[in-house]
Amino acid sequence: MAYQAKNYSHLIGMEGFSKQLLENHFTLYQGYVTNTNKLADILSQMLKDGKTATPEYAELKRRFGWEFNGMRLHEYYFENLGGKDALAKGTGLIGAIEKQFGSYANWETDFKAVGSMRGIGWTLLYLDGANGTRSNDWINDHDMRHLAGCTPIVVLDVFEHAFMIDYGLKRADYIAAFMKNINWKEASARYDKAHK
């Protein structure tokens, strides 16, 4: 079944993110959805045609990880934006963050530090489903270095397209704007679903 691009236009008007920046970002995301579907179709046709033992199949299969994760990570990112309230006391997620990092402030310091690392990629608060550990981590590009078995709880895009239109090289200011707009209800729901 083909993937459908989701509509995130409700985020337009969010403080610290211009309409132009968001619309560009939505267009870029839609490209990942289109290419994910295109690659899935081509790969399935190659299977039908008996062309799987070919370098073309291998390279397109590798490419699929780039396009698919480009699609999915943007969905995590847009869906954990648009929040107005701080992470509520008493939620499982705040308890987990405090247990792992000592305090919310310590977690935020570490999350921002990972987001400020030089290079392009993604910053994530992960929950390790195997032992319950929470960690802030980094994904190069879209498809490299995912931690197996970990669920993304908060996802921050630090590719330059995510901020340069509004912030130029001031990535820290963009990250500060992101922190103000985290949809903690969504992040908490991800945590509760993964932490069973």
Render 96-114 in DSSP notation, one character per residue. HHHHHHSSHHHHHHHHHHH
* Residue 138, Cβ density class (10 Å: 0-12 exposed, 13-18 middle, ≥19 buried): middle
| Nearest of 156, 57, 150 to residue 114 by alpha carbon | 156
For residue 67, state whether it binds Fe ion (rule: CB under 5 A). no
Identify which range of 34-42, 55-63, 125-133, 152-160 contacts Fe ion by CB under 5 A. 152-160
Residue 143 tokens read as 């498809």
Q: Quick one: 48 or 118, whose CB is closer to Fe ion? A: 118
Contact segment (CB under 5 A) with Fe ion among 53-61, 88-96, 121-129, 150-158 equals 150-158
Tell me, what amino acid is at 127? Answer: L
**Minimum distance from residue 157 beta carbon to Fe ion (Å):** 4
Residue 74 or 134: the one with the smaller Cβ distance to Fe ion is 74
Nearer to Fe ion, 104 or 138 (CB): 138
Instruction: For the CB of residue 77, give the shortest distance to Fe ion in the complex, in Å.
Output: 7
The Cα 12–Cα 9 span in angstroms is: 6
Token pair of 98 as six digits: 């405090």
Give the shortest CB-104-to-Fe ion separation in angstroms: 26
Nearer to Fe ion, 63 or 195 (CB): 63
Nearer to Fe ion, 96 or 162 (CB): 162
DSSP string covering 42-101: HHHHHHHTT--SSHHHHHHHHHHHHHHHHHHHHHHHHHTB---SPPPTT-HHHHHHHHHH
Q: Is 157 in the site for Fe ion (CB under 5 A)?
A: yes
Site string for Fe ion, 13-52 (x = CB under 5 A): ----------------------------------------
Binding residues for Fe ion, total number by CB under 5 A = 3
**Residues at the site binding Fe ion, with contacts judged by CB under 5 A:** 157, 159, 162
